Structure 1
Amino acid sequence: MSFEAKKRITEIFKLHGLSVRSEGAKYFSELLKPIPEDEHDAWIEKVIDAVQKLPLASTIISQDVLQQAVENVSAAESDDTGDLLQVIDVFKAPKLVYHQERKKFMVAPQTQTSLHGNADNKTALFIERYTRVYQRTVNHDLFRPPAILDSQEEKKFGLVKIEYLLGASSRLENVVVLGLFTQLTEGQHHLEDDTGILNLDLSNTKFHTGLFTFNCFVLAEGWFEDSIFHVNAMGMPPPEAADTTRAMLGNVNYFGGEGTVCAKSVERLREAELENNEAMFVIISDVWLDSIKVREKLEVLFTGYADFPPTAFILCGNFLSAPHGPQQAADLKAAFASLADIIAENPSLIEKSNFIFVPGPNDPGLTNIFPRPPLPKFITSDFEKRIPCAEFVSNPCRLLYCTQEIVIFRENIMTKMCRNCFYFPNNTDDIPFHFSKTIVNQAHLAPLPLHIVPVYWGLDHCLALHPTPDVIVTADKGDPFNTTMNKATFMNPGSFAKTDFSFMVYYPSSRQVEASQIEEKD
C-alpha cells in the first residue's frame, strides 16, 4: 500500500513538472493511509495546487515544502473557522520583496529589524516604494507591449528610465517616465528614479486627478532636450486590481496574522463572512476622554448598542483634548478608568464585542515616527483587567475579519497631503476622491517627505498597501467621508468631538458604510 501510494504521488507530481524527494513522498503516503484509496488522487491534486502557490526555489519538492502545502490545504478544508476577527501586530507584518530572477513579489523571511536603521535602510526604503509602483505600472495594459503589432490596437506607451534620457544626444519626443517628484534645489523641480535625476519644466503641464505631493511617484509624459524634461502631462501611476496582485503572489499569507495561507482562499471564512450579516464595526476618532460631553455621548452610544453588540468598537486617539504636560500619562490613565466605568454598565458589550484602541498623534508614546507602538502598558493595564475584551494596538493597525483586510491609520494624513501639494486640484469639492486615488495609486499610506511623516526606515513596509486592502480607514481631523477606489472602501469618521459626535459604521457582509451621529436631545 505505502509503495503504491508513493509511486502514485511521484507520477502525479511528474505530470505537473515537479519532482518529489523520497522522504517527501514517504511523508505524504503516510498521511494518505487513513483516507480511502479512491480519494487519493483528489487529495494529491489539492496538495499539488497548494505547492504551486508557494514561492518555490526549485521544481524538486522537499518534505518541508510538502508539509507547508498540506497545512495550507488542511486550513482551507477545516470546518473550524475559529475567531473571525484577528488583530495583527503591524510590527510583525510580512514584508514583500521583489525577486528579479523570478519576476514576482515574494514574502521575505522574518528577521529582527532594528528601529534605528543605517543609510542603506533609507536607500532601500525609496527603492522598495519605487519597485512596487514600477512593477504595477509595467504590468498595466497601457504599458505592456502587444504580442502582435496591430495598427488598430489601442495605443501603448513605453516607459523609459532616466539614464536613457541623460545619454541621449538629440531631442526625444513622446517620452514617458515614472519617477519620484522631488525638489533638490530651491525653486526647481526634479524627477528621480533608480538610475538618475532629471530637471523638469512644468510651465505647460496638464495635471490629471490626484494630490500631487512632494515625494510621490508620478508618470510624466513630454519631450526631452538640453538636459531638461519638458512635461506635457503628469498623472498618477495606474493602480493594480487586488485580485491581480494576489494571483501573482500565490496563496501565501502576505497580510499578517495566524497561519501561512491567504485568508482569501479559505472558503469557510468566506461563507462565515456572508452568513454573519449582523457583524458591524463602529469606528470613532478623537475620543477625548477628558471631555465630559464626549463621555456622555459615549455612554449614549454604548447603551444604544447594548442590545445589538457590534463585532468591534474601533476607538482612535487622541484620547485627551490637549497635551497635559508631565501629568498626561496619569490623566490618561484616570480617563481610561472613567471609560471602563461606562463600558462596565453594559455587560453584553464586554461579552460579545471587542474594543480596539489606536493611538493618536498627541497620545503618549516613544515618538511620532511610524509605525507607532500601542499605548504604554502602565497606562492601559488596569483598563485591560476590567475590560478583558480590550486590545491596544499599533498605529497603523491591521485587522483581518474573515477574508476582509482592514487597515486603520490615525493621522491627519489628508490634511498634510493637501498642505504639501506642488499642484492642487481645481475641483476642491472632491478632495476625498483625489486623496483616495493618490493613496491607492501610490500603494502607501503616507506618500510624503520623511520630515513631514517620519517612518522607521526598516519598517516602511508596514505602511505599504500592496495588494490594496478591502477597507482603509484614515482617521483624519477633516470632514467625514466614505468612497470606493480600486474596489477598496475608504472612510474617514472625522473628529468625534468636533463634528457633532459623528462616527462611521461598517457592515462587512454587504460592504456598506453608514455615516452616523449622536444627536442632541431636545
Structure 2
Amino acid sequence: MSVRVKSSVISCFKMHGLSLRSDATKYLSEILSTLNEREQEDWLERIVETVRKQPLTSALLKKDLIEAAVEECKQGDDDENDNVFNIISSFSLPRFTFNQEQKKFLRDSKPVNLHGNADVKTALFLDRYTLLHQRTSRHNLFTPPVQGSTLDSKTTKFQLKSVEFLLGSTAKIGELIVLGMLTQIKEGKYFLEDPTGAVELDLSKAQFHKGFFTENSFVLAEGWYEDEVFHVNGLGFPPPEPADVSRSFFGSLNFFGGPLPTCAKSSAKLAALEESNQDAMFVLLSDIWLDQVRVREKLATLFLGYSEMPPTCFIFCGNFSSAPYGHNHIKTLQESFKLLADMICEHPYLAENSKFVFVPGPQDPGPASILPRPPIPACITDYITQRVPSAVFTTNPCRIQYCSQEIVVFREDIIMKMCRNSIKFPDSRTEIPKNFMKSVVCQAHLSPLPLHVSPVYWSYDNALRIYPLPDLIVFGDKYDPYTVTTAGCIGTNTGSFSKNSYSFKVYYPSNKTVEDSQIED
C-alpha cells in the first residue's frame, strides 16, 4: 500500500469533513493503488459523493459503508456502456445550490412544487447571483495577488464590491466594480440590485460592452458613487468560464443530469466510444410544418438521402403546424404525425438505427407559454411512438448526453425578445448572433429576460441554466441561421426549415463542427 495513496485518501475525505477508520483507509488505499494518478482522483471524488448521499450518523466512516460506496460506483461504471445516448427531461434535472461557507455546490433534495411560493421566486434570482458571483470572483481579474509574487506591469487586479458597501459610504468613492442585477424599481430609473440592497444608476455616460443588456440580467458595473447614485462609466457581463475550468473546481459532479452518477466528461470509456464512432452525426431542424404537403415532400427527400447512412439522431423542433392553435389543431397534428410515421417506416434501416427527438414549439399544444414546456401530449403522438419505437417526445428545453458530449436543445424565438427588451441595441445587425451568444454564455442562462417577457416556472429555473457550459447549444429560433462559438461552447441556430428554403444543420461530434445543409428544388 503506497503511503502517497493513503495520504490522498485521508486528505480527500478530510476536505469534506469526513474521516475513515483504519480498516476502511487500508481497504480503499489497496483498491486505488492499482490505478494511475488521474483515475485515483476520479474514483475518490465519486466515492466521496456517493458516501455523502447516504444518511450518515457520524463523520467517522466504517469499512462496510466504504465497501458499499465502491460497489455502487463500480455498478455505475459498468452501466456506462448502456448510457451512450440519453435524452434528459427538464423536469428530471438535479438541483444544485452554491454553499458560500463550503465553497462548493450541494445537491438540493427537497420536494419541488410546480407552482412555488414567493420564497421560490426569491431563491431563483439569489441562485443565479451566487452562481455568477462565485464564477466571477475566481476570475484572474478579481483574484487577489499572492503574497510575495510579482505582478506583470500590464496586469490589473480589481476587487468586487457589494451594493451595501456603496450605501454605507458618505463620501465620494471612485473606481468601483459591482456585480448585480439590472432592475427598474421606479419606472424609468434603473437600479443595480444584489442580496445586500439596491442602488440607483446613472447610465447617461456608460460605455456598453457587447451583449444584450435587459432587465433581470446580471452585470458588472464600473464607475463612481456619490449622493446615493452610482454613476456608471462601463457596463459589461460577468466573464464567461470554459467548462473544463468549471470542472477543475468541482470535480466530476454531474450538473447536466441523466442516469450517470458522475459527469460524462470524466468517463474514459465514453470518451473512447465517442472517438471510435467517427461517423456520428446529428441532424437539426426547426419549424417543421407537417400540415404542409411541400414540407412533407422535403422530409421524404431528407429521409431518402440518409436511408443508407442513418444519423445518430434527428432533432425535430416545433412548431409542427403552420396554423395557430385552433379547434382543428389537435386533429391536424394527429394526422400529420401519422403521415410522418409512415414516411419514416418506409426506410426500415433508418428507423432502426436513428433516434427521432421531438421538441415542442411555442404554438404546439401545451398548458401555457411558460418554460420549461412539457412534451406534446401522448394522445397526439401515440401512433408515431408505436410505429417508430425510437421516437421520443421530450420537453423544451431538453438535454442530450451523447458519450462524453453534452447538448442542450432550446426551441424559442428568443432573439427578437432580446432585441426588443435590450437597453442598448447592437451597433450592427450582423453582430446580433455574437451579442446574443455572449449574453447567454455570460449569464449562464438560456433566457436571461424579465419573467413577464419570458415566463419561467420558478421551481424549475435550473432547467434553463447552463453551468458548466455544454459542448453544443441548439437554438430553434426563426431568426436567420448562424453558428457562433463562445468560451468553447458552440451555439447554432437552425432557422426555420419551412420558411428558410428547407435549410437545416448537421452536427458532427467527432470534430465538433456544424455544417449548413439544404434540400434544394
TM-score normalised by structure 2 residue count:
0.91
Q: Which moves more between the two structures, 259-268 or 281-290?
A: 259-268
State whether structure 2 residue 250 is matched by structure 1 residue 249: yes
Q: Are 1:128 and 2:127 matched, yes or no?
A: yes
Once residues 517 and 4 of structure 2 are traced to their aligned partners in structure 1, the CA distance between those partners, rounded to angstroms, is 60
In structure 2, the residue matched to 1:105 is 105
Paired residue for 2:43, among 34, 37, 50? 50
2:102 is matched by which residue type in structure 1?
R
- Selected match of 2:33 from 28, 41, 47: 41
Written as runs of structure 1 = structure 2, the 5 A alignment for 1:9-24 is 13-14=9-10, 19-21=19-21
1:260: which partner in 2? 261
- Superposed CA deviations along residues 233-253 of structure 1, whole A, max 9, x for unmatched, are 111110112112112222222
Measured in 1, the distance between the counterparts of 2:380 and 2:321 equals 13
Q: Distance in 1 between matches of 2:190 and 2:511?
A: 45
Name whichever of 243-252 and 290-299 sits farther off.
Answer: 243-252
- Partners of 2:424 and 2:214 in 1: how far apart? 7
Match of 2:397 in 1: 396
Any unmatched runs of 5+ in structure 2?
A: 53-57
> Conserved in 2, the CA contact under 8 Å of 1:324 and 1:331?
no
Which residue in the other structure is 2:277 paired with? 276
1:51–1:66 contact (8 Å) kept in structure 2: no
- How many angstroms apart in 2 are the aligned matches of 1:42 and 1:356? 42
1:262-411 aligned within 5 A: 262-411=263-412
Q: CA deviation at 1:254?
A: 1.8
> 2 CA distance for matches of 1:516 and 1:240?
31
Counterpart in the other structure of 1:447: 448
Name the SS of the counterpart of 1:424 in structure 2: coil
Q: Deviations over 1:342-392 (max 9, x none)?
A: 111111111100100000000001111111110111111121001111000
- SS of 2:255's equivalent? coil
Shift of 1:44: 11
Query: What's the TM-score once normalised by structure 1's chain length?
Result: 0.91
- 1:215 and 1:389 map into 2 onto residues whose CA distance is 40
Local SS of the residue matching 1:295: helix
* SS, match of residue 42 in structure 1: coil
Q: Please give the secondary structure, in 2, of the residue aligned with 1:212.
A: coil
Counterpart of 1:86 in structure 2 is 86
Asked if 2 retains the 8 angstrom alpha-carbon contact of 1:399 and 1:405, the reply is yes
Going from structure 1 to structure 2, the CA distance change for 1:17 and 1:315 (only over 3 Å counts) comes to closer
CA distance in 1, matches of 2:11, 2:228: 56
Task: Give the AA of the match of 1:478.
Answer: Y
SS at the partner of 2:311?
A: coil
Rounded to whole Å, the distance in 1 between the matches of 2:316 and 2:214 is 29
Contact 1:360 1:411 in 2 (8 A): yes
Runs of 4+ in structure 1 over 2 Å off: 7-26, 43-76, 106-109, 148-153
Contact 1:472 1:490 in 2 (8 A): yes
2:118 is matched by which residue type in structure 1?
A
Task: Write out per-residue CA displacement over residues 491-519 of structure 1, whole angstroms, 9 at most, x where no aligned residue.
Answer: 00000011000100000011110010111
What's the counterpart of residue 67 of structure 1? 68
Which region of structure 1 is more displaced relative to structure 2, 477-486 or 93-102? 93-102
Aligned partner of 1:142 in structure 2 is: 141
What is the aligned length? 505
- Between the aligned partners of 2:516 and 2:213, the Cα distance in structure 1 is 28
Give SS of 1:184's match: strand
Q: Give the match for residue 475 of structure 2.
A: 474
In 1: Cα distance, 2:292 partner to 2:41 partner: 59
Q: Which moved more, 1:409-418 or 1:117-126?
A: 409-418
- In the alignment, the residues of structure 1 paired with residue 474 and residue 7 of structure 2 have an alpha-carbon distance, to the nearest angstrom, of 49
DSSP 3-state at the match of 2:82: coil
SS at match of 1:355: strand
Task: Give, in angstroms, the shift of residue 427 of structure 1.
Answer: 2.4
Indicate the larger mover: 441-450 or 149-158: 149-158
Give the 3 Å change call, closer, same or farther, for CA 259–83 of structure 1 in structure 2: closer
* SS of 1:330 mapped into structure 2: helix
- 1:192 & 1:40 partners in 2: Cα distance? 48
CA distance 1:305–1:507, shift in 2 (3 Å): same
Deviation at 1:75, TM superposition (A): 4.3
Aligned-residue offset at 1:259: 2.4
User: Take 2:169 and 2:7, find their aligned partners in 1: how far apart are those partners?
Assistant: 56
Kept in 2, the 8 Å contact 1:284–1:504? The answer is yes
Unaligned runs of 5+ in 1: none
2:438 & 2:179 partners in 1: Cα distance?
17
For the residues of structure 2 that align with 1:16 and 1:186, how far apart are their CA atoms? 52
Q: Is the 8 A contact 1:75 1:266 kept in 2?
A: no
CA contact 1:263–1:269 (8 Å) conserved in 2: yes
Between the aligned partners of 1:61 and 1:43, the Cα distance in structure 2 is 23
**Structure 2 counterpart SS, 1:423:** coil
Q: Distance in 2 between matches of 1:313 and 1:469?
A: 19
Partner of 1:513: 514
CA distance in 2, matches of 1:514, 1:47: 39
- SS of 1:198's partner is strand
Q: What secondary structure, in the 3-state scheme, does the structure 2 residue paired with 1:515 have?
A: strand
Task: Provide closer, same or farther for how the CA distance between residues 65 and 392 of structure 1 changes in structure 2, counting only shifts above 3 A.
Answer: farther
2:491 corresponding residue in structure 1:
490
CA drift at 1:11: 8.3
**In 2, Cα distance between equivalents of 1:294 and 1:483:** 28
* One-letter amino acid of the counterpart of residue 119, structure 1: A
Letter in 1 for 2:302: L
Q: Kindly tell me: are residues 69 and 484 of structure 1, through their superposed partners in 2, closer, same or farther at Cα, counting changes over 3 Å?
A: farther
CA distance in 1, matches of 2:483, 2:242: 20
For 1:352 and 1:93, the matched residues in 2 are separated by: 27
Partner amino acid, structure 1, of 2:95: K
CA distance in 2, matches of 1:114, 1:40: 42
1:119 aligned partner? 118
Output the CA distance in 2 between the equivalents of 1:65 and 1:478. 53
Contact 2:136 2:239 in 1 (8 A): yes
Compared CA separation, residues 232 and 386, structure 1 to 2 (3 A): same
The letter of the residue matching 2:43 is A
2:55 aligned residue: none
| Aligned 8 A contact 1:181 1:216 in 2 | yes
Whether the 8 Å contact between 1:85 and 1:402 is mirrored in structure 2 is yes
1:33-60 residue CA offsets vs partner (Å, 9 max, x unmatched): xxxx9x7732698567523454476974
Q: Is the 8 A contact 1:51 1:65 kept in 2?
A: no
Residue 83 of structure 2 contacts residue 259 of structure 2 at CA under 8 Å; is this kept in 1? no
Shift of 1:175: 0.7
The one-letter amino acid of 1:50's match is: W
Q: Deviations over 1:118-176 (max 9, x none)?
A: 00000000000111111111010001111137463611111100011011010000010
CA contact (8 A) 2:76 2:261 kept: no
